């Protein structure tokens, strides 16, 4: 393993610009800003890629292309490099990419083609630029799982030492026709009422109902991400550039973290918009903090995740160290809880992903029935939305977000989504407005870029 210190920059986006146009370039972005203490990962040029469409996974490496109908996570387990004696925590080379909501792992409904993007896109990366904002330090890590990677060291050092010397002609991003939504207020109310009927019949306790927005678009997706990132900075953001499209995520929600045997998930359930007036903003925060309804929604998901983690964790280790904490982001206040545990002997990060995917905060409870109702009522597959983005390391560690506040650009269109949890005492108009509050940054971005 090779580690090379490099100059630290507070804004990793200024460095990632040298990679942004490369196929399979990945920027896992902790949001930047003066108070950021997170860790960013920048990578490109994977030595192996796995792309799942429907039930078939395409695996490409230096030897060529193979196709498999195996379970996608079994394939990832097969190809992920392993450190026999992990030297440290964090990313030490391994997998980066996304798992779409429609992937169908973990005993959930059979995989289907989400249409917009493949259901899984993961690369195995042997090097990464690691920017630690807490330590104000940057290093290039080359894991040497791939024999060819060490030969790139000199080139990569030159590239990252002088990123300002890199210039690219970039076409301003623009939205070329009006935005379309797959729910009208009236059709949303009909779906809402159907959910109320299911709750009253005892089929479920909570359903997360989401809307999909799209519009024709043109121009540079990397410029679009940089502007979205400025509008809505978030601690679990990402930009993924693939040959088949781009993923632009400004997610506030951590899904699964594994460090050693330790496991953590931080579900969000409960939202209020931010207000420019400080007094009004404080009132909204307190309203969320004291809301019996929002606490009940949050507790349902905490119980669901305790059950998910309990499938792979040591008995007695699953605990809830934080319940109903209000966290404030650029556009909204959220109610956040934290569930932790310790992996059982013989269990690893991929087992946890299988047990917990997709995240309960964006399905409802009970999860299996909630997903069936979502498939019935939402007019289109969710694709990347409500899936997960992040990394799995060769040392067994993992860090994934929930892909909310996330857009995709593919086949000349911009797509994004917003949703919220519906329970027995929800009100249709309030839930519809909550979707718009969550989509506020994207809606503002679209308005500003109408051609």
DSSP, residue by residue, 86-139: --SSS-SSEEEEEE-GGG--TT-SPP---SSS-SEEEEEESEEEEEETTTTEEE
Helix residue ranges per DSSP H, 201-264: 221-231
pLDDT, mean of residues 109-116:
60
Distance CA 79, CA 410 (A): 28
Given phi > 0 = left and psi -120 to 50 = alpha, else beta, which region is 219? left
Question: Which residues 6+ apart lie within 8 Å of 413 measured at CB?
Answer: 214, 215, 216, 217
Distance CA 318, CA 424 (A): 28
pLDDT of residue 451: 75
Q: Does the bond joining 136 to the residue before it have cis omega, within 30 degrees of 0? A: no
**Counting beta carbons within 10 angstroms of the beta carbon of residue 277, is it exposed (0 to 12), middle (13 to 18) or buried (19 or more)?**
exposed
Confidence of residue 66 (pLDDT cuts 50, 70, 90): very high
**In the chain, pLDDT over 70 holds for what percent of residues?**
96
What is the per-residue pLDDT across 15-58, written as a single tens digit (0 to 9) for each?
999 999 999 999 999 987 667 778 999 999 999 999 999 889 99
CATH fold for domain 2-159+177-448: Anthranilate synthase (3.60.120)
HEC-encoded secondary structure of 437-451: HHCHHHHHHHHHCEC
Confidence of residue 168 (pLDDT cuts 50, 70, 90): confident
What is the per-residue pLDDT across 240-297, written as a single tens digit (0 to 9) for each?
999 999 999 999 999 999 999 999 999 998 889 889 999 999 999 999 999 998 899 8
Distance CA 387, CA 377 (A): 18
pLDDT of residue 83: 82
Q: Is 253 a catalytic residue?
A: yes
The token duo for 167 is 């210039």
pLDDT of residue 390: 98
Distance CA 268, CA 326 (A): 10
Residue 380: is its pLDDT beyond 80?
A: yes
User: Per the residue annotation, which of 58, 167, 227, 253 is the catalytic one?
Assistant: 253
**In the chain, pLDDT over 90 holds for what percent of residues?**
78
Domain boundaries, the chain: 2-159+177-448
pLDDT, mean of residues 88-97:
93
Residue 374: is its pLDDT beyond 90?
A: yes
User: Per the residue annotation, which of 269, 348, 431, 434 is the catalytic one?
Assistant: 269
Residue 166: is its pLDDT beyond 90?
A: no
Question: Is the model more confident about 111 or about 260?
Answer: 260
Q: What is the CA radius of gyration of the chain?
A: 21
Q: What is the DSSP string of 190-205?
A: HHHHHHHHHHHTTS-S
| Cβ neighbours around 402 below 10 Å, total | 30
Q: What is the DSSP string of 30-62?
A: ---STT---EEEEE---SEEEEEETTEEEEEET
What is the per-residue pLDDT across 314-348, written as a single tens digit (0 to 9) for each?
999 999 999 999 998 888 899 999 999 999 999 99
The token duo for 434 is 């909550």
Distance CA 110, CA 108 (A): 6
Cross-strand bridge partners of residue 215: 414
Confidence of residue 85 (pLDDT cuts 50, 70, 90): low
Cross-strand bridge partners of residue 247: 240, 408
pLDDT of residue 106: 57
What is the per-residue pLDDT across 429-438, written as a single tens digit (0 to 9) for each?
999 999 998 9
Cα separations (Å) of 247 from 133, 296, 385?
23, 32, 10
Q: Is 367 a catalytic residue?
A: no
The model's pTM: 0.94
Nearest to 119 by CA among 57, 49, 210, 45: 57
pLDDT of residue 88: 83
Q: Mean pLDDT for the chain?
A: 92
Residue 197: is its pLDDT beyond 80?
A: yes
């Amino acid at each position: 393993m090779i580690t090379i210190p490099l100059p630290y920059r507070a804004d990793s986006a200024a460095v990632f610009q040298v990679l942004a146009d490369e196929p399979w370039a990945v920027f896992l972005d902790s949001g930047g800003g003066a108070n950021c203490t997170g860790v960013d990962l920048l990578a490109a040029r994977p030595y192996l890629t796995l792309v799942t469409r429907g039930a078939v996974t395409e695996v490409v490496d230096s030897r060529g292309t193979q196709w498999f109908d195996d379970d996608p996570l079994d394939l990832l387990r097969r190809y992920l490099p392993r450190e026999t004696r992990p030297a440290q925590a964090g990313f030490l080379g391994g997998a980066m990419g996304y798992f779409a909501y429609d992937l169908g792992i973990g005993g959930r409904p059979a995989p289907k083609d989400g249409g917009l993007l493949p259901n899984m896109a993961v690369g195995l990366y042997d090097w990464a630029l690691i920017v630690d904002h807490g330590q104000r330090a940057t290093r290039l890590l080359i894991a040497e799982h791939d024999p060819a990677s060490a030969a790139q060291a000199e080139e990569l050092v030159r590239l990252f030492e002088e990123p300002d010397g890199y210039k690219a002609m970039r076409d301003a991003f623009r939205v070329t026709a009006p935005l379309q939504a797959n729910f009208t207020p009236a059709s949303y109310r009909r779906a809402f009422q159907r959910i109320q009927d299911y709750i009253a019949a005892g089929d479920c306790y909570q359903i997360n109902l989401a809307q999909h927005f799209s519009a024709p678009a043109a121009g540079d997706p990397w410029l679009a991400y940089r502007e979205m990132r400025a509008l809505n900075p978030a601690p679990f953001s990402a930009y993924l550039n693939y040959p088949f499209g781009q993923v632009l995520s400004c997610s506030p929600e951590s899904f699964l973290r594994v460090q050693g045997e330790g496991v953590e998930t931080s579900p969000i359930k409960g939202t209020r918009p931010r207000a420019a007036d400080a007094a009004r903003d404080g009132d909204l925060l307190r309203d969320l903090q004291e809301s019996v309804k929002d606490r009940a929604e949050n507790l349902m998901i905490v119980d669901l995740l305790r059950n998910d983690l309990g499938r792979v964790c040591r008995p007695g280790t699953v605990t809830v160290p934080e319940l109903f904490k209000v966290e404030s982001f650029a556009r909204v206040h959220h109610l956040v809880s934290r569930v932790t545990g310790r992996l059982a002997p013989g269990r690893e990060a991929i087992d946890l992903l299988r047990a917990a995917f997709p995240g309960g905060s964006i399905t409802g409870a009970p999860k299996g029935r909630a997903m069936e109702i979502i498939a019935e009522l939402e007019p289109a597959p969710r694709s990347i939305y409500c899936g997960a983005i992040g990394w799995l390391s060769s040392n067994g560690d993992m860090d994934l977000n929930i892909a909310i506040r996330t857009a995709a650009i593919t086949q000349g269109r911009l797509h994004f989504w917003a949703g919220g949890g519906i329970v027995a005492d929800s009100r249709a108009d309030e839930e519809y407005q909550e979707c718009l509050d969550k989509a506020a940054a994207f809606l503002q971005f679209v308005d500003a870029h109408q051609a």
